[in-house]
Chains A and B, each alone.
Chain A
Amino acid sequence: MEKEFEALIPQVCVITDIRKDTPDVKTFRVVALDGKKPFIHKPGQCAMLSIPGVGEALFSITSSPTQTEYVEFSIKKCGCVTEMLHSFEVGQQITVRGPYGRCFPVDTVFKGKDMLFIAGGIGLAPLRSVINYIRDNRKDYGKVAIVYGSRSADDLVDYKEIIDEWQKEKDFDVYLTIDREQEGWTGHVGFVPNYVKEVNIPNTYTAVLCGPPIMIKFTLQGLLELGFEKKNIYTTLELRMKCGIGKCGRCNVGGKYVCKDGPVFCMTELDELPDEY
């Protein structure tokens, strides 16, 4: 008899590269023990990483599905599992299960659209996957605008890739901002929600927001003022998760399970949910 798929049993993977992005964010490159990608995913999906004895936690997959060699996770230090991960060196094994959740509708709704990505801090992690996916399937999408902000210039995740690659991409406009003036920074200074209004992207773009709740709240307000429609605005939710497969009940909000019906939601869907996320 064929062995049944074991949803709760992870696979052992190995960290093959660690990149320090900011003082508290590192990006981990992960492959399975056979050296291959541990799974096939879609942009916006997540995976459960664990360090046996420390715990398990859900992270968004930062690399694009078009990356065929490995998967990457950009992880901010904030809690037991992430602190331990940050202390690791290349060669360390961890366990991985997934991918989980509903992805961004890259193959349906987003096709052919002009896209506006808005991220704050580590919120860029889930967006990097979809942005790079679009770069690798460039002809399927319209113009791309990216507004990305952080506390300081040192806290911008993936800075090198943004400068060296994204900014050079055809029909890609990248707008970076930091919260406060800083020596050596010649770019924009100010909060993301305000900057979004200033750059004035046409309200026909499809917007994807990712970042701290307060940023989402004010940015959303701003977008609506600019005439964006809720049905064209997407975001991701982050709740406490344990199983990742819609069984343990922890991430249940209204009729939805964020782990399997999310983490990606359209604003019109969020309007239907009770205010408990």
Chain B
Amino acid sequence: MLKIDISSLPLLYEKIASLYPLVLPIKKANEVNYDKYSNGAEVSLFTLKTNKSPKDMFFPQTEDLMKFKVDGQKIEIIDTRKEAQPFVVMGVKACDYKAFEVLDRVFLVDPIDTYYKTKREAGIIITLACDRPEESCFCKAFNIDASSPLGDITTWKVGDKLFWKANTQKGKDLTEKIKDLFTEGDEKTVEKAKQEITETISKLPFSNIDVNALSKDEMLDTFKSDKWSKLSEACLGCGTCTFVCPTCQCFDIREFNANDKIMRFRCWDSCMYKDFTKTAGGQPRPTQMQRFRQRFMHKLVYYPENNDGLYSCVGCGRCVKKCPSHLNIVKVIKAFGGEKK
């Protein structure tokens, strides 16, 4: 266990950034998002809930796939990717880190998505325990321990110190390169801090959420019922919940045509949009109720069915905070019995 003064963190950022590109929560125009560090950036490491999740780093909002050159009847495909270079993502919270596992089970199963994989392998992830979880957090419902996230390195903020522990070889290698900045830290201090975090979490308003009590039969049974209509009544179909969600992974593949160069790219898409499933022949989900239901059924029933019971929600609470109509997954879970009695 190592430690560093919080007041010395700028030195740490500089040092890491001199070795690898460094991505961490940065404040811009009053919003905090994961962004590339540069000298003078307003780092906001201890912001609990960044606007968007760090999934961008591995599954960017838009990403070039390949270029085409067309010449008469001939086609040439050009892979425009450069070899992935190592980079560091710092300040990742337990829920967002768990979300990588949810994404891995989509992108890294056969056939492997190499675009995602290369970035995932190149990334060195430094997590941060949540010292003051908020009322919209409910990670515990998914058995996520916000007091000790994993990752290549785990960090804890205790008082005016940041404690630092490398977990993997990647994490140890990075630590080795910057160890001059640290002093030896006391394991016990961190243990005590962990306990305090766990206690805070148990007092959160959503701590009574119990996804295992969800009546999945009822959710499926009521596939045609009013419960879903009532829950989704106010949904605007804006897709905000899917964009801020760390586990949402739906994408579109499109092309950009500039004269002789054609770029095929992918970009985030949303099951909340009516065009998502529309074809020339028809629309399998014509109502917003069905689209709303799809999002939550996928997270709470379909995904777990295919992934050994792992839910495709990590309780980050972003959709709770961001939905303009105050709809969210917590309301859905409660409506279908997912509360501790």
Binds A, one of B33-41, B275-283, B314-322: B275-283
Whether the Cβ atoms of A94 and B75 lie closer than 8 Å is yes
Give the A-B pair count, Cβ closer than 8 A.
114
Given the contacts A52-B264, A79-B280, A255-B306, A247 and B65 also touching, CB distance less than 8 Å: no
Interface size class of A (residues with CB under 8 A): 35 or more
Whether the Cβ atoms of A250 and B276 lie closer than 8 Å is yes
Whether the Cβ atoms of B290 and A9 lie closer than 8 Å is no
A contact residues around B107 at 8 Å (CB): 247
**A78: CB under 8 A from chain B?**
yes
A-B contacts, 27 listed (Cβ < 8 Å): A6-B79, A7-B112, A7-B113, A7-B114, A8-B115, A52-B68, A52-B75, A54-B255, A55-B255, A91-B73, A92-B73, A239-B277, A239-B279, A240-B277, A240-B279, A243-B251, A243-B253, A246-B106, A247-B251, A248-B266, A248-B269, A250-B252, A254-B297, A274-B297, A275-B223, A276-B285, A276-B290
A contact residues around B252 at 8 Å (CB): 242, 248, 250
List residues 243-277 of chain A with CB under 8 A from any CB of chain B: 243, 245-250, 252-255, 274-277
Complex Cα–Cα for A250 and B249 (A):
10
Complex Cα–Cα for A253 and B66 (A):
29
Interface size class of B (residues with CB under 8 A): 35 or more
Task: Name the residue on A nearest B257 (C-beta).
Answer: A53
| Chain B residues engaging chain A, CB cutoff 8 angstroms | 65-66, 68, 70, 73-77, 79, 106-107, 109, 111-115, 117, 220, 223, 249-253, 255, 257, 262, 264, 266, 269, 271, 276-282, 284-285, 290, 294, 297-298, 301-302, 305-306
Whether the Cβ atoms of A78 and B280 lie closer than 8 Å is yes
Specify the main secondary structure of chain B where it touches its partner: mixed
A contact residues around B278 at 8 Å (CB): 240
Known: A93-B75, A247-B251. 7 other contacts (CB 8 A): A8-B114, A52-B262, A93-B74, A240-B276, A243-B253, A248-B269, A250-B250
Task: Name the residue on A nearest B250 (C-beta).
Answer: A249
